[in-house]
């Protein structure tokens, strides 16, 4: 599966809007949208780490949980998970195990780390999502980064 970035701009902007919404609610600024093969948004989720006190409540894992409990598993390989930011290693693995066929992201993880800075009390696991899914035996297409400036804006002054 392949896809130009222009095709993904609208759902990426929606994911960024969801990230802003998560931030307004006091959560980390991340959002994700699941898109069907026809380009229609099927499901969406935002980060709920602060709300739930669950460190796995990333937008992508929340979306994977929703997708795998509401959609037929056989439909997932034809879907695309569009995220406001490059999925972390945990989220990329969840996307892989769910059988979702494509990941599209806006802000690359290395730019997020530049914005956020290094916090010794909140260490990072730097492992690009391409590397995570490439270690698997089934193909997952990865498209991104895109709309970096728009995606970065929601993170400005959040991580200070």
Looking up tokens 């200070």, which residue turns up? Answer: 160
Catalytic pick among 60, 109, 121, 153: 60
60 is catalytic: yes
Q: Are 6 and 13 in contact (CB under 8 A)?
A: no
Listed in order, strand segments (DSSP E) in the chain are 31-35, 41-46, 80-85, 102-107, 141-143
Residues 57, 51 contacting (CB under 8 angstroms): yes
Helices 9-24 and 59-70 cross at an angle (nearest 10°) of 110
Instruction: Give catalytic residue positions.
Output: 60
């Amino acid at each position: 599966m392949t896809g130009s970035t222009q095709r993904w701009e609208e759902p990426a902007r929606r994911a960024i809007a969801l990230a802003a919404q998560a931030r307004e609610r006091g959560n980390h600024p991340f959002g994700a949208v699941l898109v069907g093969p026809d380009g229609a948004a099927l499901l969406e989720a935002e980060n709920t780490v602060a709300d739930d006190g669950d460190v796995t409540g990333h937008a992508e894992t929340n979306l994977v949980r929703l997708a795998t409990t509401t959609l037929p598993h056989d439909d997932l390989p034809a879907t695309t998970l569009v995220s406001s930011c490059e999925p972390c290693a945990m989220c990329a693995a969840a996307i892989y195990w769910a059988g979702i066929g494509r990941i599209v992201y806006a802000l690359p993880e290395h730019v997020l780390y530049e914005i956020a800075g290094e916090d010794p009390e909140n260490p990072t696991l730097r492992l690009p999502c391409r590397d995570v899914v490439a270690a698997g035996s089934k193909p997952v297409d990865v498209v991104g980064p895109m709309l970096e400036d728009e995606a970065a804006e929601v993170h400005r002054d959040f991580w200070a």
